[in-house]
């Protein structure tokens, strides 16, 4: 990283996004999961559009170059990802959810290879993907007697797949909107799709038993990890590049585990730690070339 400022921003974002898993878990005590995700992005969309207006940015999409990434990002990276993630967090701890999300950088090259003929994954990369799935099994510990925990891990894994599908299919090469306006539209599309899913699943506002505490967690989710987190992420992405920014996935789980222990008294199972290490090894195998190139640029 370029200096202390970038390092501080990196750790701040990892901590903020780590708290999101804990805030979600706490709010789920009073909100159905998909409805909670929908309400979070209702608030986030309003905030992001307000910031875009205040900054004098153009917010009206101009043609397919803007509309395609808004649709795919909103439906997959916002809608499907958070519907599955929040549903999974009903059953698993904050640390387990954050660790499983670390599969995103491992799954991305494999998915890209399947959907784009111009991408390849060599034998070492394939080994990395297999190691990553081994980490998933170590964390999930499939047990026929504990179907709820199995379902929770599978939902979170599915949320990682949904995020990757959004990342791979959301091409912004022809986009004319700035990232802030683009993110605002994605949040709006994601929120709409989540409300449709909540209605289809029978998760209405009447099913929520919102307290002052859970409403506070909802607002925190939307404002701090949501709008604030994404604004900081795009600044870091611009300054650090995708390789170093991608390392966030491995800085988040320790914060999620620490906050989960402090706030919700969650314990950290040894299998979660072993699974995290396997996922980290998988990432290093899959991304070894990009990491070497990034290190050469940073220190060469």
3-class SS string, 90-145 = CCCCHHHHHHHHCCHHHHHHHHHHHHCCCCCCCHHHHHHHHHHHHHHHHHHCCCCC
* CA-to-CA separations, 244 to 43, 48, 103, 225, 294, in angstroms, rounded: 29, 25, 16, 19, 8
Tens place of pLDDT for every residue, the chain, 300 residues? 455 677 788 788 889 998 999 999 999 999 999 999 999 999 999 999 998 888 887 888 888 888 998 999 899 989 999 999 999 999 888 888 888 887 777 777 767 666 655 455 677 767 776 777 677 667 666 666 666 667 888 899 899 889 888 877 776 667 888 888 888 999 999 999 999 999 999 999 888 888 999 999 999 999 999 888 877 877 776 666 655 666 677 778 888 888 888 898 888 777 777 877 877 787 777 667 766 776 666 665
Which residue in 279, 262, 227, 223 sits closest to 97, CA to CA? 279
Which residue in 160, 137, 101, 126 sits closest to 275, CA to CA? 137
What's residue 163's pLDDT?
86
Tell me the C-alpha distance between 198 and 35, whole Å: 5
Tell me the C-alpha distance between 163 and 280, whole Å: 18
Q: Where are the alpha helices (DSSP H) in the chain?
A: 4-27, 33-54, 64-72, 81-88, 94-101, 104-115, 123-140, 147-169, 179-200, 212-221, 229-240, 242-246, 248-264, 270-286, 288-299
Which residue in 64, 79, 88 sits closest to 136, CA to CA? 88
Q: Which pTM value belongs to this model?
A: 0.81
Computed on alpha carbons and rounded to an integer, the radius of gyration of the chain in Å comes to 19
Contacts of 157 (CB under 8 A, 6+ apart): 88, 100, 103, 136, 140
Domain residues for the domain of 116 are 4-299
| Cα–Cα–Cα angle for 192, 26, 277, rounded to 5 degrees | 95
Count of domains forming the chain: 1
What's residue 203's pLDDT?
95
What's residue 143's pLDDT?
62
Distance of alpha carbon 90 from its chain centroid, rounded? Answer: 16
What's residue 64's pLDDT?
84
What's residue 98's pLDDT?
86
């Amino acid at each position: 990283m370029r200096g202390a400022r970038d390092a501080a921003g990196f750790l701040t974002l990892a901590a903020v996004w780590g708290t999101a898993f804990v805030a979600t878990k706490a709010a789920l005590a009073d909100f159905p999961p998909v409805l909670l995700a929908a309400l979070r992005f209702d608030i986030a969309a309003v905030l992001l559009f307000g910031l875009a207006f205040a900054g004098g940015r153009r917010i009206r999409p101009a043609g397919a170059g803007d509309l395609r990434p808004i649709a795919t990002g909103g439906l997959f990276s916002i809608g499907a990802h958070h519907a599955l993630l929040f549903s999974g967090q009903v059953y698993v701890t904050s640390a387990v959810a954050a660790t499983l999300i670390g599969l995103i950088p491992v799954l991305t090259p494999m998915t890209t290879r399947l959907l784009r003929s111009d991408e390849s994954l060599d034998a070492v990369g394939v080994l990395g993907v297999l190691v990553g799935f081994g980490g998933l099994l170590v964390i999930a510990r499939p047990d026929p007697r504990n179907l709820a925990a199995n379902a929770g891990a599978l939902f979170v894994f599915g949320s990682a797949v949904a995020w990757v599908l959004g990342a791979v299919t959301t091409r912004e090469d022809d986009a004319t909107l700035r990232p802030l306006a683009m993110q605002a539209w994605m949040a709006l599309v994601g929120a709409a799709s989540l409300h449709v899913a909540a209605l289809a699943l029978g998760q209405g506002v009447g099913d929520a038993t919102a307290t002052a505490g859970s409403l506070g967690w909802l607002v925190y989710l939307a404002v701090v990890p949501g709008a604030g987190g994404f604004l900081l992420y795009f600044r870091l992405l611009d300054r650090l590049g995708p390789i170093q920014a991608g390392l966030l996935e491995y800085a988040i789980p320790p914060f999620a585990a620490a906050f989960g222990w402090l706030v919700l008294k969650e314990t950290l199972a040894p299998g979660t730690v072993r699974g995290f290490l396997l996922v980290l090894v998988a990432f290093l195998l899959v991304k070894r070339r990009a990491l070497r190139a990034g290190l050469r640029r940073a220190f060469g």
